[in-house]
Amino acid sequence: MKYQHTQFAYLIVVFMAIIVLPSLLVASFTQPTQAWPVAAMAILLILFAWLFSSLKIEVNEENLVFWFGPGWLRRIIPLAEIVSCKIVRNPWYYGWGIHMTPKGWIYNVSGLRGVEIVLTSGKTLRLGTDEPQALANAINNR
């Protein structure tokens, strides 16, 4: 049996749609000479929202696999390399996205809940999820 869950980044997408894009449009109309840079920034922000619009996590018989959005930012971790897994609450300042924290790398699109994974190499990473118990059970049961 395989665990599979997708968490959507509603707040990121809504923020881009409601706040950022109208601001860029207003700037392009009030400063027409700056229209090209504003359009380029809008395209970059739309691309960013698309790339980080969701985090999909799968646990199969051999691997823990997770990726953002369309799947370009993908990571595969063999289950044999996982030493431990526990449910955690991330501080608000750990934020969203992919970046290093004092507890290792974090992969998160929304919320504060997650699962901390310790690897045989001693490295630690955190996966944000809105169903931490189900993810921890899927990893620990294999």
| pLDDT single digits (tens) 50-81 | 888 899 999 999 999 999 988 888 999 999 99
Give 99: exposed, middle or buried? Use CB within 10 Å, 0-12, 13-18, 19+. exposed
User: What's residue 127's pLDDT?
Assistant: 97
* CATH T-level fold of 1-142: PH-domain like (2.30.29)
**Spatial CA neighbour of 11 closest among 44, 66, 49:** 49
Domain boundaries, the chain: 1-142
Distances in Å between the alpha carbon of 80 and those of 64, 97, 114, 120, 140? 10, 26, 21, 8, 11
pLDDT for residue 22 is more than 70:
yes
Helix/strand/coil for 56? strand
Please give the residue that has the higher pLDDT: either 127 or 34.
127
Task: Tell me the per-residue pLDDT of 91-120, one tens digit each, with 9 for 90 and over.
Answer: 999 988 889 999 999 999 998 999 999 999
Q: In what order do the strands lie in the sheet with 113-119?
A: 82-89, 113-119, 124-128, 104-108, 97-101
Alpha-carbon gap, residue 12 to 62, rounded angstroms: 32
Structure-block tokens of residue 77: 């971790």
- On whether the CB atoms of residues 50 and 12 are closer than 8 A, the answer is no
Rounded average pLDDT over 120-139: 96
User: What's residue 1's pLDDT?
Assistant: 61
User: What's residue 15's pLDDT?
Assistant: 76
First to last CA, the chain: 10
